[in-house]
Amino acid sequence: MRTIAIVNQKGGSGKTTTSVNLAATLAEAGQRVLLIDLDPQASASLWYGFKEKGKGLYDVFTDGTRMEEVIEATSVERLSLIPSSPLLAGVEKALANEVAAESILKDKFHNMPEKPYDFLLMDCPPTLGILSLNALTIASEVLIPVEAHVMALHGLVQLLKTIGVVKQRLNPTLEIAGILPCRVDYRTKHSQEVLDQLRNRFEGKVFQSVIRENIRLAEAPLHVKPIIEYDPLCNGSHDYRKLAKELLTVQQPKPATVTSAF
Ligand SMILES: Nc1ncnc2c1ncn2[C@@H]1O[C@H](COP(=O)(O)OP(=O)(O)OP(=O)(O)O)[C@@H](O)[C@H]1O
Ligand SMILES: [Mg+2]
């Protein structure tokens, strides 16, 4: 099983759009996928039509609730979801005195009696707090969506450093699956320049696939459907199918050291 944390501390970089739609295109390609929504904003959960219920991910973090108790089926065959809850915003505080709080999710996942999944994807919040650290501790790979805008590049070096520290201290087998350029608009010179810069500076770490700017991707959550159900033939569906294919072709990420990019 491949466990992928979808991370970027910068808000609005395409994490949720990528989590929701990559989960769907991997499932479409025959993979069994579990998506965990680790963001208190609950955008991925709402996208699949889930609102807060009683027991939720907060209880998995803070009491004896088992992970299998909070897994839900989605409209997409082979895709299951652990929805978020706004209570998750309080997890940081609730776990302030907990020893090894960053590995709670990993322990709970390992204790699941059955794991009928090929992929575990985790949509992280735009902070590198305890929720994202839990994702990075359980993950074998990190996928970093980056908006194709020059401002978005600034935080990237810092993020790679943080991932390097996590690798050193918490999760030695963590690798970078890839940096994913999102909202790419080939009509603008700026977008193309940022893409070139990304490929030059982070050579070998940027996916061949890119996600183009596509209004259908912004509309899809309002229709409570992943892009391949909302508009199967649009650019967004094409791009996320291509990304799924690329991930499946490159079975495991290249064993690159995460600190070698700078
Ligand atoms: N390829 C795209 N084309 C058009 N709009 C997009 C695309 N990708 C993302 N968006 C839009 O950009 C906004 C931010 O995207 P998204 O919610 O996926 O980012 P995020 O990193 O999850 O944000 P947050 O940090 O708040 O969790 C959303 O309004 C989304 O609809
Ligand atoms: Mg999000």
Residue 258 in domain: no
What span, in angstroms and rounded, lies between the C-alpha atoms of 184 and 251? 25
> What pLDDT is attached to residue 260?
38
Indicate if the pLDDT at residue 143 is higher than 60.
yes
Query: Which ligand neighbours the alpha carbon of 9 most closely?
Result: 1
Residue 96 in domain: yes
Please give the tally of structural domains in the chain: 1
| Length of the chain (residues) | 262
* Residue having the nearest C-alpha atom to atom 29 of ligand 1: 218
Residue 87 in domain: yes
Ligand 1 atom nearest 10 alpha carbon:
25
Ligand 1 pocket check for 7: Cβ under 6 Å: no
Range of the structural domain that residue 39 is part of: 2-249
Give 47-59 pLDDT, tens digit per residue: 999 987 766 899 9
Number of H helices, E strands in the chain: 11, 7
Indicate if the pLDDT at residue 46 is higher than 50.
yes
> What pLDDT is attached to residue 9?
94
What is the enclosing helix (H) or strand (E) of 200?
A: helix 189-201
Cβ pair 199, 206 in contact under 8 A: yes
Indicate if the pLDDT at residue 255 is higher than 90.
no
Give 63-100 pLDDT, tens digit per residue: 989 999 999 999 999 999 999 988 999 998 999 899 99
Residue 260 in domain: no
* pLDDT, greater one: 142 or 250: 142
* CA angle, 111 then 258 then 6, to 5°: 50
CA of 172 to the centre of ligand 1 (A): 30
CA of 4 to the centre of ligand 1 (A): 19
Give 211-243 pLDDT, tens digit per residue: 999 999 999 999 999 999 999 999 999 999 999
Q: What is the mean pLDDT of the chain?
A: 92
What span, in angstroms and rounded, lies between the C-alpha atoms of 2 and 26? 12
CA of 147 to the centre of ligand 1 (A): 9
Residue 256 in domain: no
> What pLDDT is attached to residue 258?
44
CA of 98 to the centre of ligand 1 (A): 33
Indicate if the pLDDT at residue 261 is higher than 60.
no
CA of 41 to the centre of ligand 2 (A): 7
Ligand 1 pocket check for 218: Cβ under 6 Å: yes
Residue 207 in domain: yes
Ligand 1 pocket check for 86: Cβ under 6 Å: no
Of the CA atoms within 13 Å of residue 243, those in its CB half-sphere come to 31
Q: How far is CA 52 from CA 58, 79, 85, 121, 221, in A?
A: 11, 19, 6, 20, 17
pLDDT tier at 262, thresholds 50, 70, 90:
very low
Instruction: Annotate 34-71 with three-state secondary structure.
Output: EEEECCCCCHHHHHCCCCCCCCCHHHHHHCCCCHHHHC
Q: Domain with 15 in it: what CATH number?
A: 3.40.50.300
Ligand 1 pocket check for 84: Cβ under 6 Å: no
Pocket test for ligand 1, best of 16, 17, 144 (most atoms within 8 A of CB): 17
Tokens found for residue 180: 């994913």
Of the CA atoms within 13 Å of residue 199, those in its CB half-sphere come to 10
pTM of the model: 0.95
CA of 63 to the centre of ligand 1 (A): 32
The average pLDDT across 171-194 equals 94
> What pLDDT is attached to residue 38?
97
The average pLDDT across 11-32 equals 98
